[in-house]
Amino acid sequence: MMPAIGYAVRRENRFILSDPKLNAAEITFEHADLPLWTKSFISGDDIDYVAIHALKLSVGSPDPPGKAYLDALKAVAIENNATAISDHLGFTRDGEGGIEMGHFAPVPLTQPALDVVCRNLDFVQKYVDPFPFYIETIAYLFQLEGTMSEPEFLKKMFQRTGVGWLLDITNVYANGRNFGFDPKEFVEEVMPYAPRVQMHLAGGFFDEEQGLYFDTHSQPIPDDVWDLYEYSLKLGQGKVDAVFIERDAEFPGEEEWRRELHKMYDLAEGTSSGQATVNS
């Protein structure tokens, strides 16, 4: 099965929606939820697979996601004729009566966190039905003290909730490089448990001074990430629904936007027709 291929769409790359190799688009909810818009964010374009990508469900928070946010999310999904909805595995707030932190922090890899996450994912999936929901594993700068490994946590989460995995290839690459694990082994361990998969690809940079790779979505996708993408496609064959490139800054020229899209397409086509090989 060939996954749908596309970009996270923004003003700067809308032209690419007419590229013959693109049949998917991801819309960041906050970009599409424009109060004065009279038409949908994706309009008149023939897109097979539209995913709405949210930021604030905060499934790691002990209280459930806000209904107003979920209603708005669902409205945007309906308006844009979406296929699926996604958000991140993390927490952006503490709880009712509390505060927002802004960006999502990783949930601690513990049993109580797993219980809370699964409860919230069940709630979200029911709420956004019939849209299938995917949860993205994030890049982190730190983890809170845990009692299980990340793959262990994820496997249990997929088994309990049946949620889809938004596997951000660059996030796994960054975490592996920064904190010393093999990204391929990580994907190998988790992939069999994910019922369905979307993927993200992006480029960041390695900060020599900090000794850390930052997933900034501002650079070309590095070779190691392409390699991990191809490897993951092979492992997820038959259940990868869509793959998207994310680029949020330092926008390239049209040729470069197309080059990465075509590379993503060609690798997926090679994998689905059985040409790719897994080199672990």
* Smallest separation, CB 246 to Fe ion (Å): 5
Which of Fe ion, other proteins, none does residue 274 bind (CB under 5 to 8 Å by kind)? none
Q: Which is nearer to other proteins, 44 or 97 (CB)?
A: 97
CA distances in angstroms from 32 to 44, 63, 68, 73, 152, listed in the order given: 15, 26, 16, 9, 35
Q: Does 103 bind other proteins (CB under 8 A)?
A: yes
Report how far residue 126's alpha carbon sits from residue 139's, in angstroms, rounded to the nearest whole number.
27
| Helix or strand run (H / E) with residue 25 | strand 24-28
Binding mask 171-200 for other proteins (x = CB under 8 A): --------xx--------------------
How far is it, in rounded angstroms, from Cα 134 to Cα 125?
Answer: 9
Nearer to other proteins, 98 or 192 (CB): 98
Helix (H) or strand (E) holding 243: strand 240-245
Of the candidate spans 12-20, 135-143, 191-199, 260-268, the one that interacts with other proteins by CB under 8 A turns out to be: 135-143
Residue number with CB closer to other proteins (213 or 265): 213
What stretch of H or E contains 87? strand 84-88
Binding segment for other proteins (CB under 8 A), chosen from 98-106, 193-201, 221-229, 243-251, is 98-106
From residue 140 to residue 179, the character string flagging contacts with Fe ion as x (rule: CB under 5 A) and all else as - is ----------------------------x-----------
- Residue 221's nearest CA partner among 190, 259, 179 is 259
Spatial neighbors of 273 by CB under 8 A, at least 6 apart, are: none
Task: Quickly count: other Cβ atoms within 10 Å of residue 90's Cβ.
Answer: 23
Cα(182)–Cα(102) distance, integer angstroms: 30
Our measurement of the distance from residue 49's CA atom to the centroid of its chain's CA atoms, rounded to an integer in Å, reads 14
The contact pattern for other proteins, residues 28-67, with x = CB under 8 A and - = no contact, is --x---xxxxx-----------------x---xxxx--x-
Cβ closest to other proteins, residue 46 vs residue 209: 209
Asked whether the CA dihedral 12, 15, 21, 22 is positive or negative, the reply is positive
Min. distance of Cβ 107 from other proteins in angstroms? 9
Q: Using CB under 8 A, which of 15, 78, 98, 149 touches other proteins?
A: 98
Distance of CA 245 to the CA centre of its chain: 10
Judged by CB under 8 A, the residue of 93, 155, 196, 200 near other proteins is 93
- Cβ-based nearer residue to Fe ion, 155 or 200: 200
Alpha-carbon gap, residue 233 to 3, rounded angstroms? 9
Give the integer Cα–Cα distance in Å for 147 and 190: 17
For position 122 contacting other proteins by CB under 8 A, the verdict is no
Interface contacts to other proteins, rule CB under 8 A: 30, 34-38, 56, 60-63, 66, 68-69, 91, 93-103, 105, 108, 110-113, 115-116, 141-146, 179-180, 210
